Amino acid sequence: MALNVIVAKDYQELSQKVADLMIERIRQNPEIKLGLATGSTPVGMYRNLIEDHKKNGTSYKNVTSFNLDEYVGLPETHLQSYRYFMNDTLFDHIDINKENTYVPRGDVDDFEKECVDYENLIEKHDGIDLQVLGIGTNGHIGFNEPGTSFDSKTHTVELKPSTREDNARFFASIDEVPTRAITMGIDTIMKSKEILLVISGENKKEAVEKLLSGEVSEDFPASVLNNHPNVTVFVDEAAYPSANK
Ligand code: PGA
């Protein structure tokens, strides 16, 4: 099944289009289970969700959310932890009940247990209705790096040097970027009923090209999305290989 692709003029339009679809889904199902992502790409979309919440009153009171991943070793209070990012970028500005927002813990002693618990928690909620994803320049989704099995559940991973370099901009130096992360697996992600993949910027163009080639391989994790029945790829012109410039 070919991926449904929506090309936006620029980052602003991209963020608005994704937010509009999310708002529509939340209004259709106020008890929706969202899968959420961190990184630079979804920031504009979160800003639009907040604006809509304030202006139009879209409510998150009965929404539950599951984040994709977290750095191993960072407590929730660390400025670069994904829990901190989510609170700061979205949760603190809408009426969601924080108790219904889940981010894998990066500061536990027993990661095996944390992975199993997280997977069970998602299952207990009957799975994710709508999952937002970004893509790494190397094709990762969540922190599922190239070579990750398509059967993987929530697990811990060693981050690739390219991922640590991509994310070093958020830290004082590359040495401070954690070397491991805990992430939903590819199978976990693929079980979501609907997926929105959001991609922006010139540096993602090669990844978009690979994704849209339709070739499915564990060497390029995002390619698995070609096997999912309900994916929409939102991409801006800067990241879209055949857009005229
Ligand atoms: P980015 O990250 O939005 O910061 O580019 C995307 C990702 O690595 O999944």
User: Which ligand 1 atom is the nearest neighbour of the CA of 136?
Assistant: 8
Closest protein CA for atom 8 of ligand 1: 136
Which of these is catalytic: 67, 138, 144, 167? 138
Whether the pLDDT of residue 104 is over 90: the answer is: yes
Catalytically annotated residue among 52, 114, 145, 237: 145
Among 14, 15, 38, 40, name the best residue to mutate to test ligand 1's pocket (greatest count of ligand atoms within 8 A of Cβ): 40
Active site residue 202: no
Q: What is the mean pLDDT of residues 234-243?
A: 92
Domain borders along the chain are 4-239
> 242 versus 49: which is more confidently predicted?
49
Active-site residue, 69 included: yes
Q: Ligand 1 centre and the CA of 210: distance in Å? A: 16
Nearest CA to ligand 1 atom 2: 39
The ligand 1 atom nearest the CA atom of 137: 8
How does residue 227 score in pLDDT terms, banded at 50, 70 and 90?
very high
DSSP string covering the chain, please?
-PPEEEEESSHHHHHHHHHHHHHHHHHH-TT-EEEE--SSTTHHHHHHHHHHHHHH----TT-EEEESEEETT--TTSTTSHHHHHHHHTGGGS---GGGEE---SS-S-HHHHHHHHHHHHHHTT--SEEEE---TT--BTTB-TT--TT--SEEEEPPHHHHHHHGGGSSSGGGS-SEEEE--HHHHHTSSEEEEEE-SGGGHHHHHHHHT----TTSGGGGGGG-SSEEEEEEGGG-TT---
Distance 3 CA to ligand 1 centre (A): 20
| Per-residue confidence band for 108, with pLDDT thresholds at 50, 70 and 90 | very high
> For the segment 173-200, what is each residue's pLDDT rounded down to a tens digit?
999 999 999 999 999 999 999 999 999 9
Band (pLDDT 50/70/90 cuts) for residue 243 is low
pLDDT at 6: 98
pLDDT digits (tens, 9 = 90+) for 123-156: 999 999 999 999 999 999 999 999 999 999 999 9
Does the pLDDT at position 1 exceed 70? no
pLDDT in tens, 7-24: 999 999 999 999 999 999
CA of 48 to the centre of ligand 1 (A): 18
Burial zone of 68 (CB within 10 Å; 0-12 exposed, 13-18 middle, 19+ buried): buried
Q: Provide the pLDDT confidence category of residue 242 given band limits of 50, 70 and 90.
A: confident
Selected catalytic residue, list 48, 53, 69, 167: 69
- Model confidence at 244: pLDDT above 90: no
Is 145 a known active-site residue? yes
Nearest ligand 1 atom, CA 41: 3
Q: Which residues contact 110 (CB under 8 A, 6 or more apart)?
A: none
CATH architecture of 4-239: 3-Layer(aba) Sandwich (3.40)
Residues with CB under 6 A from ligand 1: 39-41, 134-136
Give the pLDDT of residue 2.
76
pLDDT in tens, 44-74: 999 999 999 999 999 999 999 999 999 999 9
From the list 70, 114, 119, 140, the catalytic residue is 140
